[in-house]
Every structure is written in C-alpha cells, then in structure tokens.
C-alpha cells in the first residue's frame, strides 16, 4: 500500500470524528495496523479477547484469516472439553426422544387421565396447571428443557471461547439463514440434531450439501409444514384403508395391549383420521425459494410455488411428534410432471418420486440468482449493511464457478479490498448476540455458566437463541437493533456482567483492571478497541471509581457497540 | 449492593442527577388534554381476515372452507352478526359490542396493490408505506412525525412497545422503543447516577459524529436518557386500569395496558405501536374455536380492555389494526390456509364513524378472486392510513408521507 494512500486513510479515519488516540503508527505493516487487526477480529471473530490484537498482529491478518478458513486445522481441545458438560449435545434425536420427550408425554397423558377421572368437566380442554405437576413430571419436564438449554449454552460457550471463531460466526449466520423456531410444535425435539448435523458440517462446505441436509431435516420439515403436504389427488379411500388396517390390528384379540391402551390408541387413530392431510402446503416451497435460495426477487411466481410444493409432496417425517426421522412416502407424492422456473421435472411414482425434489434442489443451488442472494447476504454480514455491488458480483461469480463452495466464497469476501476499505471499519452495529459475546470475550472470561447470557438475550434483548419465529431469521443490520431501549439494555448488561458474577468474572476483572490508573486504562482501551476511542469516552473512563465501573463504562460505550 | 435488590427496585432506580431537559417543565402533567393519539397494531404473520371478519352471507365462503369456516350467527361457535352479511369471530365478541356502539369500524378487502405473498416484503411495504418500492429507508409513521414536527414534542411523542423499533417508526425523527415501561432505565444500584452521567456524556459526544448508520448511536443514546429523566416522574411500575378494565395476561395485553398508561401520564404520546404474532396458520387453524380463535381472543380482549380503560379519553384516540396480507380463500390440505392477498383492518375510537364495514366487497366466487384464489383488494391500505393522518392527526399534506400516492378520500371513516 502506498504511503500516500495510508496517509489519506488515516486522515479519513480521523475526519470521521472518532479521534484516534493515539494515532496508529505509520510504520506498521500496511494491512496489519491495530485498526485493521481489530476490524478483522470484529468481523471474522466475535471481537478480541485480551491479547488477541497483539497475537493477530504478530501473525499477520492474512495468515489469521487463512487459518480461520481452515478450522479443522485449529486445535480447540479446551472448548471440546468444556462441552462435555452438555451430554445431550451428542445424542441422537431417537435417544433424546426415548430419554426425555416420550416419558414426559406419558407422564402428562397419565396426569391428564387422572385429572379427568377426578373431575371430568374441569379436565376437558383445559391444559394441566403447572402448579399441580407431580415431582416426577416436573423432573421430566426439566430434563426435556435441559436439551435446549444445553444447546443454547453450548452455542455461547463456543462463540466466546472457541479458537475456531469464523466457524462459530458462520454457524450463527447459517442457522439464521435456515431459521427454525424452537417453540413451534415438535421442532424443539429436532433442534439439537438440526444444528449439529444439518448446519455445522457445511458452513465452509458446499451450499448444495447444506441445502439438502436442511431439506431432509425433520426440524425444517416440521417448521415449514412440509411433513404434512400431500398430493391432493391421493385417494381418500387409500387413506381410509390404511386406517382400517391399523384399527383391525388393534382389535385383534391377540394384540398384547391392555383394554385401556387399546382405547387410547383407537382414540388417537380417530384423531389422526380427522387431521389427515388432504392437499399441498405451500409454506416450505415458498420459503425454499424466497429465503433459502433465489431470494425474494429471484423471479419465481406463485405458480412456481405451487409446482414446487407438489415436487416436495411425500417428503415427511416418520412419527413427526415422536422423535422420528426423514422419510419419503411415495403414496403421498404427486406423480405428475411439474414445471418450475421454466424447467420440466418429469413426474415419478413410487420411490423414484423423491428424485424430483433432489433435482429441484440442484436447480435452485445452481441458479445464479441463488449465488447472488447468498453472496449478498454474506457480504452484508461481513462487510457492510449495504454491501458494494462489485464485491457481491465477484463473490457470486466465485459461488457459480466453484459450484457453491462456501470456503472459496468466504475467502473472496474476507480477502477483498472492499473488506479492507476504511469505510467498512467500525461501520456496523453489533447485534445483541455479537454484543454479549464480544463483551464476554473482552473481559477474557472463560465462560463457565452461559445461562445468564442465554436469559439476557431472551428477556432483555429480544434476540433469543432458537427463538426467532418468522422464517426470515433475525436481521443483522443496524436499523433493526439501534434503539433507545436496546441501548440501555446493553449498558445494563455491561453493569450486570461486572457485578453479578463475582465468582465467574471476578478474578478475570482483577487481572483485566487491577486498578483504574491511566496505564491500566490505556492497556484496556488498546486491547478492546485498538486504542480508537473518542476524547469524551476516554474522559468518562478516567472518572471511573472502580475497576468494575471502568469496564462497564467501556462495554456500554458507543465505540464498543460497533464492529 | 446486592443485585437482586436493585433489580427488584428497578423502577425506583430511575433516579437521575442530570440536568432537566427544557421540555419537562412544559409538558409533564401539564395540560395536554387534547393531544390526539394514534395507536397502530400490527398482526404479524398475516391474519386470516376471512375468519376474523366473516362474510357469512357468502355461499362460496362455506363451499371452500368446509372444515375451517366460522359458522353462521346463531349456530354453535358461530360468528357474531355485525351487519347481516359480515360477522365477527365469536372469540372477538367484545368487539361486536363496540361495533354496535359505533366506536369500531372495519375495512374489508383492504390491502396492498403489490402482489407479493412474502411475509417479509409485505410487512416491509406496509410499514414503509410504499408498496413495491424497496429502497424507501424510513417508515410511514416516521415520515408523519417529520411532516408535523412541533416545538413542544417530547421524547415520548412516538413510542413502540417492542424491543426493536418497528420499520414503520424507523427514520430520522426521534422514536422510542420501550418493551417494559417499568424497567426502562439504567440499573446500576447506587452507582446508577455516576454511570448515567458517564454514559450520557459518551453518547452526547457521539451524537455529533457522522460515522455509521441512521439513526446514529449518539442520537439514540441522548433520546434514551431524556426519556429516562421524564419517566422518573411517572410511577411506571404501579398502574391500576380504570373502569374495571382487565387486560389479558399476555404480551399484547401488557403492551396495550402500557400504552394506556403512557397516554394518561401526559408524557406527550402521539403515535404508539404494538404488535403480536402467531397468525401464520398454515395448519389446523380452527374456526369459531381453536388455534386462530385463541389468538383472536387475546387480541380482542386486549383491545376491549384498552377501550374500557381509556373511557372518555377514547375520544382523542384512534386504534388501527393491520396485517401484511390475507390468506387464501380456500382451505389447504392441512385445515389451514396459505398466503393470500386482501384482508380486513379495524379502526376503533371516539371519532370513528363505526358500526359499518367499509370498502367494496369483491365477492368470493373464483372469478372474483385475485389470481383466482385470494380475496381481491378493493381498498389500498394507504387510503386508510391517509385518512388517519389527515382527519385524526390533522396533517394537511400526505404527499411526503405516502410519496406517489394520492388518496381518493372516499372512505369517510373519520368525520
């Protein structure tokens, strides 16, 4: 980089009103000055921990980015060890179902039956009062809740402490891209597996693979209702017949079930008959094109949505409310030929019908519209709320040329001049998730109990993990997150972080700020903000009367809200 | 200090030593008796307008909704008759009384000229107030605030009872997002004053900066502290609704209760926003009872409690409800409904010429539907909004609020 350019750059930086104290030395490597290192850590990672800026500066930002692009080469054993505290993480859906969800169902059914016996009028239709839970029921419920709690805590432990920072940033990005909502029906039972098996393995892999894994996931099939989308022409007689067979089986005197169980299962069959799906559901087909692939301006029509829904008829879940797995039901599939986006998809009956969906996913994954949509969103997350068209086009081009190789797309974005342009530095506002994670990282804490952070995201920031109801996922741009209430909550979070967990962060805070002297302040500002702080903020820090105050004032400052 | 104590006393901790902003003396508890207030409610996720305001006089309605159609008035779980052709979902029966008292009006077959069936786009268009134009960077309510800037505006002029500022209030005019009025403020225990002074000066300095996006962090911080200071005079945690009004114990009921509280506190509230989701009923939506009816029950009870609580004050208040689009006329394969087009809006308040379902009814016969499947739109939602800002809030010119749109003024819901 020319000296002239660097001079201009520094002049611009200063002119943009964040008076630089102290001014970055000119002698630093062209792209390795502290401001650049901080920028890289703010975007590629969840912000710097104490010492990170010096460490990355020493290795060089390009080497750091390259290493982050190859997370499999980075040792993360410390975090792997910490994750052992969450034993449900590695369990399969079937295991979780057997251990937590089905016993809970049973206990609840039994409790309802008992209540109905005691007072039939009251029990009809009213949900069981949690206050009347038996101890056993309560234990089972807590067990079931711990699955999601573990998942959320593990996500934060990784975000704060993992060395594979880009990987964690991308897990958040892609989960949000393929958002599902924990509170919808049985989705919560499938979340653990969804994040672990459909998202994590592919964030630096091929887009088509992730798209396929998501399309096959019970979580998405349930969330966007495709599991009950069926060929409208499937004969009602066929459905009736299957039901009759099941009823006959139950009525067989040799069936080894008690009369009560028989009655229960018969009632369930009757209910199932009433609820039997009778036609297509467009929900998944629409979001697949609008959100997952082509984008809302991707040129598809309402007719494409309906045709796409027909393509995916029969993609369902074996026992959707029983911790089941993906299955293709040929008898639910519409075997007629479809046309999507002007391409003919020859209809198949029998098990071959599933190939139509795979073909459709291939068409979508290879569409230049998809490449552009994904390139835009990634550029928006990593570079600018309004990403430069030149960058988006180049990244889209790489997406097309590499058949959706996300590692190459990321490399293009993170090593682009647009990423390293001064206009991009500190130009974004942290989302609440970025903020709480970066605050924890700034204190240098080893996160032991992420519970309070999970709660803060849910109760104070309106950004609960796994709690975004619409399929769009959370916005990542500033307009969504800069407002008065949210800002006060950030300041309050900083205050609670330094005051509420003396055991967790007390030692760290003493190391971080043994006192409030000028030397301590200068080091702290250098390690969290690369020294870039306004005179006014510097002055308020100088007035702090204790180390916790000092840190809270730093974490709540305007400078720390940016990335 | 024990953190639990200061959390419990959160509202008491809203103590401030900072200078008093000039408007406090002028406005708080001062006579702002005739302040007009517009309350906007967004039903996010596309409520099924045909099961909310039921065209029971339409034979096609029952033909294409065999399992989810709301029964005719007089039948079990049947609609409550409004005008002999339309009825209201029985879960919303309190609102039928308001309708017959002429304090509630409905606009049916209302919506956007844009064809999108994307939640995201349609919400965006309804809130930007510019259907079909994505580049609009502010919301229609924010543009209203600009169009009618006045000297004694307080930080509470526009308040959203949400954690994030909705798109309709985003823009360069100040607007507050307050999820919980009683918890709004810095919670630093005994250090609160010291910390607040520190943060205030940080954000005051940042308010001058040009860097970053709109709205700037600095300005937002300044607005926050101004609001905190005003709120300290209001005992936000303590509030007893008037006239025996009981709000449902739900997030939406809570939001409506707080809007009533803010209006009565005389803080200068002019535009309020609240929202509620859970309307995207693709599966098992039910009819006069069931999933959708339960949501509608909470919705209607909250609105009714607000109406009761406001009492005579309602004469200066108009509440309008909206949702991004309606749902398909025909039920889908899962006894639910897929995304559609036209929908129903409700307008409630003292100045409303209620007791009438406004708008031209296009009918539900297949050839009368939009794209042969959805309720057609015969009233642009901006007609309704325009009337609200012109006749209720007294804006004379709506051309900057709804660029490129000229209202026909034909509805006549207000005065």
| Residue range(s) defining the domain that contains residue B144 | 3-16+37-392
Instruction: Give the separation between CA A439 and CA A160, rounded to whole angstroms.
Output: 9
Q: How far is CA B336 from the centre of its chain?
A: 25
B5 touches chain A (CB under 8 A): no
Q: Which residue has the higher pLDDT, B275 or A498?
A: B275
The per-residue pLDDT for range A326-351, each reduced to its tens digit, is 999 999 999 999 999 999 999 999 99
Query: Residue B86 sits in a domain of what CATH number?
Result: 3.40.720
Beta strands in A65-121 (DSSP E): none
CA angle B155, B263, B318 (to 5 degrees): 110
* pLDDT reading at A104 higher than 80: yes
Q: Using a CB-CB distance cutoff of 8 angstroms, which residues of chain A are in contact with residue B187? A: 492, 495-496
Res B43: pLDDT: 98
Contact of A563 with A47, CB cutoff 8 Å: yes
For B144-177, how does the pLDDT look when each residue is reduced to its tens digit (9 = 90+)? Answer: 999 998 888 888 999 999 988 899 998 888 889 8
Q: What is the pLDDT at residue A84?
A: 95
Residue in the block written with tokens 């910490």: A82
Enter the tokens of residue A552. 């809270």
Cα–Cα distance between A245 and A252 in angstroms, integer?
11
A264 Cβ contact partners less than 8 Å away, ≥ 6 residues apart: A109
State the burial class of residue B404 (Cβ atoms within 10 Å of its Cβ: 0-12, 13-18, 19+): exposed
d(CA B354, CA B105): 4
Element (H, E) at B343: strand B343-349
The tens-digit pLDDT sequence of chain B (415 residues) is 333 333 333 222 222 223 333 444 344 444 444 689 999 999 999 999 999 999 999 999 999 999 999 999 999 999 999 999 999 999 999 999 999 999 999 999 999 999 999 888 899 999 999 998 877 889 999 999 999 988 888 889 999 999 888 999 988 888 898 988 888 889 888 889 899 999 999 998 887 664 444 458 888 888 889 888 888 877 766 899 999 999 999 999 999 999 999 999 989 999 999 999 999 999 999 999 999 999 999 999 999 999 999 999 999 999 999 999 999 999 998 999 999 999 999 999 989 999 999 999 999 999 999 999 999 999 999 999 999 999 999 898 999 999 999 999 899 999 7
Give the span between the Cα atoms of A23 and A9, in whole angstroms: 12
Which letter, b or e, does each residue of B297-321 get, where b requires 16 or more Cβ atoms within 10 Å of its Cβ? bbbbbbbbbbbbbbeebbebbbbbb
Number of neighbouring beta carbons within 10 Å of residue A520: 16
A181-185: long-range pairs with CB below 8 Å, 24+: A181/A223, A181/A466, A181/A467, A181/A468, A181/A469, A181/A470, A182/A148, A182/A466, A182/A467, A183/A467, A183/A469, A184/A222, A184/A223, A184/A469, A185/A222, A185/A321
What is the percentage of chain A residues whose pLDDT exceeds 90?
67
User: Could you count the other beta carbons within 10 Å of the beta carbon of residue A396?
Assistant: 23
pLDDT at A510: 75
Residue A402 CB contacts under 8 Å (≥ 6 apart), including other chains: A408, A409
Half-sphere exposure of A396 (CA within 13 A, CB side): 20
Q: Sign of the C-alpha dihedral, residues B60, B65, B70, B73? A: positive
Let me know if residue A74 belongs to a domain.
Answer: no
Residues A91 and A103 reside in one and the same domain: yes
pLDDT of residue A259: 80
Residue B23 lies in a domain: no
* Closest CB from B164, B167, B211 relative to A16: B211
The minimal CB distance from B205 to the residues A534, A543, A552 is found for A534
Asked if residue B31 is part of any domain, the answer here is: no
- Joined together, the tokens standing for residue A6 give 């660097």
| Binary contact (B177, A534; C-beta < 8 A) | no
Q: Which of A469, A535, A552 sits opposite B277 (nearest CB)?
A: A469
A486 → closest Cβ in B118, B177, B206: B177
**What are A398-449's pLDDT values in tens digits?**
999 999 999 999 999 999 999 999 899 999 999 999 999 999 999 888 887 8
As a whole number of angstroms, the distance between CA A139 and CA B347 comes to 47
Please say whether the beta carbons of B113 and B341 come within 8 A: no
Structural domain total, chain A: 5
Contact A478 B213 (CB under 8 A): yes
State whether A253 and A310 are in the same domain: no
Work out the mean pLDDT of chain A and round it to a whole number.
88
Q: What is the DSSP string of B215-255?
A: SPHHHHHHHHHHHHHHHTTS-TT----STT----SSHHHHH
Distance from the A71 Cα atom to the nearest Cα atom in chain B, whole angstroms: 32
B residues 351-380 closer than 8 Å to A (CB): 371
Residue showing tokens 């032991």? A448
Largest Cα–Cα separation, chain A: 92
Tell me what the mean pLDDT of segment A182-192 comes to.
93
3-state secondary structure A141-176: HHHHHHHHHHHHHHHHHHHHHCCCHHHHHHHHHHHH
Q: For A64-76, write each residue's pLDDT tens digit.
A: 999 999 999 999 9
What pLDDT is stored for residue A462 in this prediction?
83
Q: Is residue A526 scored above 90 in pLDDT? A: yes
The confidence score (pLDDT) of residue B60 equals: 97
Q: What pLDDT digit, counting tens, does each position of A15-53 carry?
A: 333 333 333 333 333 467 999 999 999 999 999 999 999
pLDDT of residue A425: 94
Alpha carbon distances (Å) from A176 to A170, A224, A460, A476, B33? 9, 15, 20, 10, 46
pLDDT at A503: 52
Using the beta-carbon criterion (under 8 Å), do B202 and A536 form an inter-chain contact?
yes
Q: How many domains does chain B have?
A: 1
Q: How far apart are CA A399 and CA A380, in angstroms?
A: 16
Contact between residue B162 and residue B176 where contact means Cβ atoms under 8 Å apart: no
Kindly state whether residues A419 and A456 are assigned to the same domain: no
- Two structure tokens written together for B60: 């096609």
- A68 found inside a domain: no
pLDDT of residue A50: 94
pTM: predicted TM-score of the whole model, two decimal places: 0.81
Listed in order, strand segments (DSSP E) in A83-216 are none
Please report residues of A whose CB lies closer than 8 A to that of B334. 225, 228-229, 277-279, 281
Query: Is it the case that residue A202 has pLDDT exceeding 50?
Result: yes
Could you tell me if A419 lies within 8 Å of chain B, comparing CB atoms? no
CB atoms within 10 A of CB A51: 10
Percent share of chain A, pLDDT over 70: 89
Query: Rounded to an integer, what distance in angstroms lies between the CA atom of residue A270 and that of residue A248?
Result: 13
- Residue A327's H or E segment, with its range, is strand A326-328
A67 occurs within a structural domain: no
Q: Examine the domain organization and report whether A212 and A86 are in the same domain.
A: yes
* Contacts (Cβ under 8 Å, ≥6 apart) of A274: none
Q: How confident is the model at residue A229 (pLDDT cuts 50, 70, 90)?
A: very high
> Looking at the complex, does the CB of residue B198 fall below 8 Å from at least one CB of chain A?
yes
β strands within B115-248, DSSP E: 158-160, 176-177
Q: Are residue A563 and residue A496 in the same domain, yes or no?
A: yes
3-state secondary structure of B17: coil
| pLDDT tens, position by position, A127-183 | 455 566 778 888 999 999 999 999 999 999 999 999 999 999 999 999 999 999 998
Cα-based distances in Å from A159 to A453, B59, B394: 12, 57, 51
Dist. CA A342–CA A325, nearest whole Å: 32
Kindly state whether residue A75 falls inside one of the protein's structural domains. Answer: no
Range in A61-65, A227-231, A296-300, A475-479 the model is least confident about: A475-479
Q: Which residue of B178, B200, B297, B333 is the best one to mutate when testing the A interface, meaning the one whose CB has the most A CBs within 10 A?
A: B333
* Closest chain A CA to residue B201: A536
What are the backbone angles phi and psi of residue B349, rounded to the nearest 5°? 160, 170
Give the bridge partners for B275, in sequence order. B42
A342-380: pLDDT as tens digits: 999 999 999 999 999 999 999 999 999 999 999 999 999
Residues sharing a CB contact under 8 Å with residue A250, sequence separation 6 or more, in sequence order: A257, A262, A265, A266, A269
Which of B:86-145 have CB within 8 Å of A? Answer: 116-121, 137
Is A73 within the bounds of a domain? no
Task: Give the domain range for residue A301.
Answer: 226-232+280-366
Flag whether B403 is in a domain.
Answer: no
Cα gap B272→B247, rounded to integer Å: 18
A398 and A494, same structural domain? no
CB contact under 8 A, A426 and B185: no
Interface of B with A in 245-274 (CB under 8 A): none
The contacts of residue A500 (CB under 8 Å, 6+ apart) are: A452, B3
Q: In chain A, what residues touch B203 (CB-CB under 8 Å)? A: 487, 558
Q: Is the omega angle on the peptide bond into residue B215 within 30 degrees of 0, that is, cis?
A: yes
Can you give the pLDDT at residue A7? 40
CA B217 to chain centre: 26
The secondary element (H helix, E strand) that includes residue B321 is strand B317-322
* pLDDT for the residue B132: 87
Query: Is there a domain that residue B409 lies in?
Result: no
Collect all residues of chain B within an 8 Å Cβ-Cβ radius of residue A291: 120
């Amino acid at each position: 980089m020319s000296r002239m350019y660097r001079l201009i750059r520094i002049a611009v930086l200063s002119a943009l009103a964040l008076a630089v104290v102290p001014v970055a030395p000119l002698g630093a490597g062209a792209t390795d000055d502290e401001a650049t290192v901080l920028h890289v850590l703010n975007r590629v990672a969840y912000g710097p921990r104490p010492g990170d800026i010096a460490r990355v500066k020493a290795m060089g930002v390009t080497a750091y980015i390259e290493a982050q692009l190859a997370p499999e080469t980075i040792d993360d054993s410390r975090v792997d060890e910490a994750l052992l505290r969450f034993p449900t993480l590695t369990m399969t859906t079937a295991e979780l179902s057997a251990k937590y969800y089905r016993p809970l169902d049973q206990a609840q059914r039994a409790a309802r039956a008992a209540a109905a016996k005691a007072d039939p009028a009251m029990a009809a239709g009213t949900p069981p009062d949690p206050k009347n839970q038996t101890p056993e029921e309560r234990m089972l419920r807590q067990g079931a809740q711990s699955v999601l709690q573990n998942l959320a805590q593990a996500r934060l432990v990784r975000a704060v402490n993992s060395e594979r920072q880009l990987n964690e940033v991308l897990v958040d990005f892609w989960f949000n891209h393929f958002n599902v909502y924990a509170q919808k029906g049985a989705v919560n039972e499938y979340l653990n597996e969804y994040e672990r098996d459909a998202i994590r393995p592919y964030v630096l892999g091929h887009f088509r693979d992730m798209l396929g894994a998501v399309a096959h996931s019970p979580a998405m099939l349930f969330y966007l209702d495709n599991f009950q989308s069926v060929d409208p022409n499937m004969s009602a007689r066929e459905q009736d017949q299957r039901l009759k067979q099941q009823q006959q089986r139950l009525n067989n005197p040799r069936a080894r079930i008690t009369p009560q169980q028989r009655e229960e299962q018969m009632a369930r069959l009757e209910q199932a008959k009433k609820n039997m799906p009778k036609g297509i559901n467009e929900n998944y087909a629409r979001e697949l094109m609008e959100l997952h692939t082509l984008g809302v301006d991707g040129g598809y029509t309402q007719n494409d949505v309906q045709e796409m829904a027909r393509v995916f008829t029969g993609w369902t879940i074996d026992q959707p409310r029983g911790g089941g797995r993906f299955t293709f039901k040929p008898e639910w599939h519409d075997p007629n030929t479809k046309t999507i986006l002007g391409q003919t998809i020859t209809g198949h009956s029998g098990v071959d019908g599933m190939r139509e969906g795979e073909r459709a996913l291939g068409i979508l994954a290879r569409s230049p519209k998809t490449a552009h949509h994904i390139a835009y969103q990634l550029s928006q997350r990593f570079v600018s709320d309004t990403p430069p068209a030149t960058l988006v086009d180049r990244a889209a081009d790489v997406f097309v040329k590499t058949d959706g190789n996300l590692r190459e797309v990321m490399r293009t974005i993170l090593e682009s001049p647009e990423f390293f342009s001064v206009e991009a530095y500190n130009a974004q506002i942290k989302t609440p998730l970025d903020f709480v994670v970066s605050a924890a990282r700034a204190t240098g804490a080893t996160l032991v109990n992420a519970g309070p952070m999970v709660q803060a995201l849910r109760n104070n920031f309106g950004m609960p993990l796994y709690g975004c109801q619409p399929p769009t996922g959370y916005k990542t741009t500033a307009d969504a997150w800069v407002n008065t209430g949210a800002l006060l909550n950030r300041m309050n979070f900083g205050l609670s972080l330094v005051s509420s967990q003396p055991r967790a962060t007390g030692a760290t805070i003493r190391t971080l700020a043994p006192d409030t002297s000028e030397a301590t302040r200068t080091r702290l500002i250098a390690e969290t903000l690369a020294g870039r702080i306004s005179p006014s903020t510097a002055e308020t820090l100088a007035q702090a009367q204790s180390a916790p105050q000092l840190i809270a004032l730093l974490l709540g400052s305007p400078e720390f809200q940016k990335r | 200090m024990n953190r639990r104590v200061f959390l419990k006393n959160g509202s008491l901790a809203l103590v401030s030593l900072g200078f008093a902003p000039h408007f406090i003396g002028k406005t708080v508890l001062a006579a702002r008796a005739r302040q007009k207030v517009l309350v906007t409610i967004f039903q996010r996720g596309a409520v099924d307008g045909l099961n909310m305001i039921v065209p029971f006089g339409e034979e096609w309605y029952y033909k294409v909704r065999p399992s989810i159609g709301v029964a005719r008035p007089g039948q079990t779980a049947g609609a409550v008759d409004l005008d002999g052709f339309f009825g209201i979902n029985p879960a919303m029966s309190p609102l039928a009384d308001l309708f017959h008292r002429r304090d509630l009006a409905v606009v049916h077959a209302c919506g956007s000229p844009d064809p999108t069936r994307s939640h995201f786009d349609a919400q965006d268009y309804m809130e930007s107030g510019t259907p079909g134009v994505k580049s609009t960077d502010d919301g229609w309510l924010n543009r209203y605030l600009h169009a009618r800037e006045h000297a004694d505006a307080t930080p509470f002029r526009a308040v959203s009872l949400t954690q994030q500022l909705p798109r309709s209030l985003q823009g360069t005019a100040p607007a507050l997002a307050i999820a919980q009025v009683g918890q709004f403020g810095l919670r630093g225990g005994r250090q609160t004053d010291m910390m607040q002074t520190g943060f205030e000066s940080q954000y005051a300095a940042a308010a001058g900066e040009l860097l970053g996006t709109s709205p700037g962090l600095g300005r937002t911080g300044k607005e926050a502290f101004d609001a905190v200071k005003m709120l300290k005079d209001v005992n936000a945690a303590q509030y007893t609704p008037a006239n025996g009004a009981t709000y449902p114990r739900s997030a939406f009921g809570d939001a409506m209760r707080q809007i009533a509280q803010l209006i009565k506190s005389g803080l200068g509230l002019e535009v309020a926003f609240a929202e509620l989701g859970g309307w995207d009923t693709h599966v098992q939506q039910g009819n006069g009872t069931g999933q959708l009816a339960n949501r509608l029950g909470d919705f209607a009870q909250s609105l009714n409690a607000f109406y009761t609580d406001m009492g005579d004050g309602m004469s200066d208040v108009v509440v309008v409800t909206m949702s991004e689009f309606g749902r398909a006329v025909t039920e889908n394969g899962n006894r639910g409904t897929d995304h559609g087009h036209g929908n129903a809006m409700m307008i409630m308040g003292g100045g409303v010429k209620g007791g009438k379902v406004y708008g031209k009814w296009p009918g539900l016969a297949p050839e009368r539907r939009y794209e042969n499947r959805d309720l057609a739109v015969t009233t642009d939602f901006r007609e309704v909004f325009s009337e609200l800002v012109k006749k209720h809030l007294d804006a004379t010119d709506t051309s900057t609020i709804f660029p490129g749109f000229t209202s026909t003024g034909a509805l006549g819901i207000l005065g």
